[in-house]
């Protein structure tokens, strides 16, 4: 069992006293609070992409937003608050139009289905959500042939794309690549981003060959906070782009699919055909729209807190920080402690919520805007106190 001396603890705490700034819109954590004294809206969630709203918090927020504005309900996701939200998302992403979708899985499939048309081959990353986690939905429901590229990697290259195009053209039965889908950041690779320079080259090749290009940007705004490239700059390379509404905009359900009118006009008919026409989308649109305002600025502040914390805690012998190459908000923290569950429970008493410990001897931490409720200094001190 690892112990920490008083000198070690004081060094751990005092080396970070000047680090980090709490966002003014979020309450700062009281670092020495005892069990049962931390309100849900003061807890720091050290995993996940969103704010971790409880059902009462979500209900209270929705009620507050309804009291402050004249909310016009939609009917089957047409008109009202949903239409207003779609227009604002299209503008934010630099696209002609946008369509509300109940899930990202449906948004991705309908996008590549529309782009590919009768050219049934769609190129994807071998590690992509679309290829691994949808039960072959594109193949079964839309008759598409997903061709995986770059096994185990976040980025495929123009050479990878060119090779498939040439092989397809040389087949004895004529076939064509109709669309290319890129997921970035890649969930299965702990938030690693697709290389931006290669992304631009792939986009240029797709345009030259008349191949549709879709961005699975479920965590696009997280990528922007780390790369400095705006969501609109990313989206400009693609015909269509999908953004999750629940992952970090805390809407509970929903996705937005943006692109040209020639592709998305009338998409609500296809949405209905696939059983995705919710009777009411306005609650999700209202909450997501609320969190979109100023999100990048808040997440960048949270990133600053996390960088202060990783720098300070990494100096201590009990902790090892492992960063993801070209990564975003996920970082591995190894803890030299025999009882990781006990370590986790002690931090929970101070309102610092860790995920379950991993079998490699630590925790996979995720930065979200609740990190603005503390500072790098306070987090580091709390981690020092939690050591057995």
pLDDT exceeds cutoff 80 at 359: yes
Decide if 239 is inside a domain: yes
The tally of domains found in the chain comes to 2
Q: List the structure tokens of 137.
A: 């939905």
CA distance 130 to 214: 12
- Residue 155 sits in a domain whose CATH number is 3.40.640.10
Residue 179 · residue 117 · CB < 8 Å: no
- Same-domain check for residues 247 and 199: yes
Residue 368 · residue 298 · CB < 8 Å: no
- Is the link from the previous residue into 74 a cis peptide, with omega within 30 of 0? no
Picking from 104, 112, 172, the residue whose alpha carbon sits closest to that of residue 139 is 112
pLDDT exceeds cutoff 50 at 145: yes
Is residue 192 helix, strand or coil? Answer: strand
Q: What is the pLDDT of residue 40?
A: 59
Decide if 284 is inside a domain: no
Decide if 37 is inside a domain: yes
- Same-domain check for residues 78 and 16: no
Measured between its terminal Cα atoms, the distance across the chain in Å is 7
Q: What is the pLDDT of residue 141?
A: 95
User: Buried (b) or exposed (e) across 304-317, using 16+ Cβ within 10 A?
Assistant: bbbebbbebbeebe
- Residue 363 sits in a domain whose CATH number is 3.90.1150
Mean pLDDT of 303-309: 98
- Same-domain check for residues 139 and 192: yes
Mean pLDDT of 273-298: 96
Mean pLDDT of 1-15: 40
pLDDT exceeds cutoff 90 at 146: yes
Q: What is the pLDDT of residue 170?
A: 86
- Same-domain check for residues 194 and 340: no
Decide if 45 is inside a domain: yes
Residue 192 · residue 331 · CB < 8 Å: no
pLDDT exceeds cutoff 80 at 301: yes
Q: What is the pLDDT of residue 169?
A: 85
Residue range(s) defining the domain that contains residue 357: 6-58+295-386
* Other beta carbons less than 10 A from residue 291's beta carbon: 20
CA distance 173 to 387: 64
Domain limit, last residue, from 279, 307, 336: 279
pTM, 2 dp: 0.89
Q: List the structure tokens of 314.
A: 């990494």
Mean pLDDT of 99-111: 98
Mean pLDDT of 341-350: 96
pLDDT exceeds cutoff 70 at 188: yes
Q: What is the pLDDT of residue 370?
A: 98
* Strands 177-183 and 212-216, bridge-based pairing: parallel
Beta pairing partners, 187: none
Decide if 288 is inside a domain: no
């Amino acid at each position: 069992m690892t112990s920490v001396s008083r000198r070690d603890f004081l060094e751990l705490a005092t080396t970070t006293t000047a680090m980090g700034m709490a966002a003014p819109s979020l309450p700062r954590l009281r670092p020495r609070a005892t069990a049962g004294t931390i309100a849900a809206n003061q807890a720091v969630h050290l995993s996940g992409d969103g704010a971790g709203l409880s059902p009462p918090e979500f209900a209270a927020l929705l009620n507050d937003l309804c009291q402050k504005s004249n909310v016009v309900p939609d009917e089957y996701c047409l008109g009202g608050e949903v239409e207003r939200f779609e227009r604002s998302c299209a503008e934010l992403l630099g696209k002609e139009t946008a369509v509300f979708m109940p899930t990202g899985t449906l948004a991705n499939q309908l996008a590549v289905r529309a782009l590919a048309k009768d050219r049934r081959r769609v190129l994807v990353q071998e590690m992509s959500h679309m290829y691994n986690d949808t039960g072959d939905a594109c193949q079964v429901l839309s008759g598409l042939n997903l061709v995986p590229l770059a096994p185990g990697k976040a980025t495929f290259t123009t050479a990878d794309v060119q090779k498939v195009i040439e092989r397809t053209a040389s087949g004895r039965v004529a076939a064509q690549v109709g669309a290319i889908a890129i997921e970035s950041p890649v969930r299965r690779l702990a938030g690693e981003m697709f290389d931006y320079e290669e992304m631009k080259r792939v986009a240029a090749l797709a345009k030259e060959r008349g191949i549709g290009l879709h961005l699975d940007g479920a965590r696009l705004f997280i990528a922007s906070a780390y790369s400095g490239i705006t969501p609109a700059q990313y989206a400009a390379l693609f015909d269509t782009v999908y953004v999750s509404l629940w992952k970090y905009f805390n809407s509970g359900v929903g996705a937005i699919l943006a692109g040209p009118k020639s592709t998305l006009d009338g998409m609500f008919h296809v949405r209905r055909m696939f059983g995705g026409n919710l009777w009411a989308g306005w609650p999700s649109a209202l909450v997501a729209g609320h969190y979109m305002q100023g999100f990048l600025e808040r997440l960048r502040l949270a990133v600053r807190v996390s960088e202060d914390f990783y720098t300070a805690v990494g100096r201590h012998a009990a902790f090892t920080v492992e960063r993801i190459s070209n990564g975003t908000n996920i970082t591995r923290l190894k803890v030299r402690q025999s009882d990781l569950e006990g370590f986790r429970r002690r931090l929970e008493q101070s309102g610092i919520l860790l995920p379950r410990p991993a079998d490699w001897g630590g925790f996979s931490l995720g930065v979200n805007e609740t990190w603005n409720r503390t500072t790098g200094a306070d987090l580091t001190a709390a981690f020092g106190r939690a050591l057995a």
